Amino acid sequence: MNPGVVKVVVDEYERALYFSRLPVPFPRDAVRRYGSLETALRNEPLWLSSFRKHTGLYVYRRDVLLAFARWPQSELERLESLEQLRALEHGVKIKAIKASTASIGVDTIEDLERVRSIVEEENCSLEFKL
């Protein structure tokens, strides 16, 4: 539910179809049954597995990157505040590769503090083991 965590919808070839700050695809029927997305997810937690978290590392060919820099910001990009939507709207294919381990995006001060806390805990447990 956190809009700071970007979600991605992919096709059968693992190419991005859309990125959003809201959970997508939207489980319309479950929301109708329970009245809200939050209540639907609480009552049917299996829906959570249909959402894919996006942490981006982008690699573009030089010509695509130069073209991207010339394209004006798109309406979808402005609405979601996600620049990769500009690339999708211009027909750029974005391959989504599933990470082998969980990751943490650092986009806010709160994210940074969370990562610092995790690193500190890991360092403490390493020192304890030594």
pLDDT cut 70: percent of the chain above it: 95
Condensed to tens digits (0 to 9), the pLDDT of residues 71-109 reads: 999 999 999 999 999 999 999 999 998 888 887 778 789
Q: What is d(CA 50, CA 34) in angstroms, rounded to the nearest whole number?
A: 18
Identity (one letter) of the amino acid at 63?
D
Q: Which among 90, 96, 54, 58 has a CA at the least distance from the CA of 73? A: 90
> Considering the entire predicted model, what is its pTM?
0.78
